[in-house]
Structure 1
Amino acid sequence: MRTNDTVRAIGHCGQCEQCEHCSARSQSICSVIDQRDLHQLALHSQKIEIPSGRCFIEEGETARDFFIVTDGHAKLFNLLPDGRRQITGFADCGQFLGLASIENYAFSAEALTSLRVCRFSHIGMSLLKTQFPALERRLLEEASSELVRAQARMLLLGRKTARERLASFLLERQEVAPRSDVLILSMTRTDIADYLGLTIETVSRTLNAFRRDKLIEIDHITSIKLLNLTEIRLLADGEGF
């Protein structure tokens, strides 16, 4: 990724003393680095600001860097040969991106909101793993989590109904919500439909059905309150009404 007037590099984290007060640290791979060693982490990272709508990872480009989301939200997607787009996931605070990329990035990433990320070069991350063995173990845990998410997504797209898919999506977002019963959605209905393999009409119709069934309350197009989490969980598992 090249820095230009729309993607702003603040500088090395060590220079601006961001690591110690980073809100994403407890949720990210950086949590295994002791407080007294944060200066080593900072030496190998760079803070980047990315405006909404800007891609910061391009599918097929040479994978030179890893990224940790420290503030904001992003969507991950692949492009088909005919130009169609398939959203494969959403990245939130603390998420590590680029782990599965060896030579080239296997996906693209676009900021859904104003976004801040920490960027680590592959060389820098290798040095950190050598210096801090706990970091390598944490990356293995991250890789395992990615496999679990991929398997869950295969099940969602392959076997679940529209109601079950949307219930599963609400639970996914609930896991990262600051308030567990209120979801602030940074993605559009079109993004949700793309991610779930549904039409936007089906997403809107199913959300309205959930509202009528008193499972959710739609306060705004970007705000959904979960009223009956137990029933939503049952529905996601194929056991609801």
Structure 2
Amino acid sequence: MIDPDDMSRLAQYSHRLAVMAGKTFIQEGEPANDFFIVTSGHVKIFALMPDGRRQITGFAQSGDFLGLASGATYGFSAEALGPLALCRFSRTGLNILKREFPDIEHRLMEEASRELVQAQKRMLLLGRKTARERLASFLLEQHHRSPTREIVINLPMSRTGIADYLGLTIETVSRTLNALQREKLIAITQVTQITLLNLPALETLARGG
């Protein structure tokens, strides 16, 4: 993530975009001429399967880069989960950024690497973990991405979106969340709000313990 102070400086060299909820602003397969920084709101990242279905591959929030690790074309699509604000940078403008921000090249490489690490983590999540381990990992991921590491996490995505991302059915997601609540690991205070009651136990579960 980019620090708020750096974000305001970087914004001077970008084109600001306001995106309505539900609108796709990156299309898989289109030329990757730009990259983006999310300045507020949340993003659903997805890929199209051969049969036309969507597979959610990640979520982004304020401070996240999108498109840095892309090749000549975007390997994913991105859609606003709610009202969204972005800074768009052209790839041809990178030299200006590097000149104005001497440390920006290192930061950009870090962000591109983070995109690849997230992809590797997702492969492990889907390939090796049980439904309980996937849900625990997902909740902890949302907790760690919170700037203040609050134990109360607000989920901008629907249960259907969570199920798609984790490779589960919505019934399995609901049943597993209810089981975690009965075990007093979490409390479901609202449909989109979950309180993490026992972080050590969730971390052990996420690791397969």
> Shorter-chain TM-score: what band?
over 0.9
Question: Partner of 2:110: helix, strand, or coil?
Answer: helix
Distance in 1 of aligned mates of 2:166 and 2:144: 17
Q: 1:154 Cα shift?
A: 1.1
Please give the TM-score of this superposition, normalised by the length of structure 1: 0.82
CA contact (8 A) 1:189 1:200 kept: yes
Deviations 1:169-224 (A, max 9, x none): 00010012355201100000010000000011000000000010001100111000
Does residue 97 of structure 1 match 2:66? yes
Which residue in 2 is equivalent to 1:74? 43
Aligned ranges 1:65-214 → 2 under 5 Å: 65-177=34-146, 178=148, 180-214=150-184
Ranges in structure 2 where 5+ consecutive residues have no aligned partner: none
Question: Partner of 2:200: helix, strand, or coil?
Answer: helix
Aligned ranges 1:3-14 → 2 under 5 Å: none
Q: 1:101 Cα shift?
A: 1.4
Which residue in 1 is equivalent to 2:27? 58
Ranges in structure 1 where 5+ consecutive residues have no aligned partner: 1-23
CA contact (8 A) 1:44 1:125 kept: no
Q: 1:129 Cα shift?
A: 2.1
Question: Partner of 1:133: helix, strand, or coil?
Answer: coil
Which residue in 1 is equivalent to 2:3? 26
Distance in 1 of aligned mates of 2:76 and 2:14: 22
RMSD: 1.8
Distance in 1 of aligned mates of 2:45 and 2:4: 19
Distance in 2 of aligned mates of 1:57 and 1:222: 26
Residues paired across the two proteins, number: 208
Distance in 2 of aligned mates of 1:43 and 1:115: 18
**Structure 1 runs (4+) greater than 4 angstroms displaced:** none
CA contact (8 A) 1:182 1:223 kept: yes
Which is bigger in relative contact order (C-alpha 8 A, separation at least 6)?
Answer: 2
Question: Partner of 1:129: helix, strand, or coil?
Answer: helix
Q: 1:56 Cα shift?
A: 0.7
Please give the TM-score of this superposition, normalised by the length of structure 2: 0.93
Greater C-alpha Rg: 1
Question: Partner of 1:219: helix, strand, or coil?
Answer: strand
Distance in 1 of aligned mates of 2:12 and 2:187: 46
Q: 1:84 Cα shift?
A: 1.1
Distance in 1 of aligned mates of 2:96 and 2:41: 28
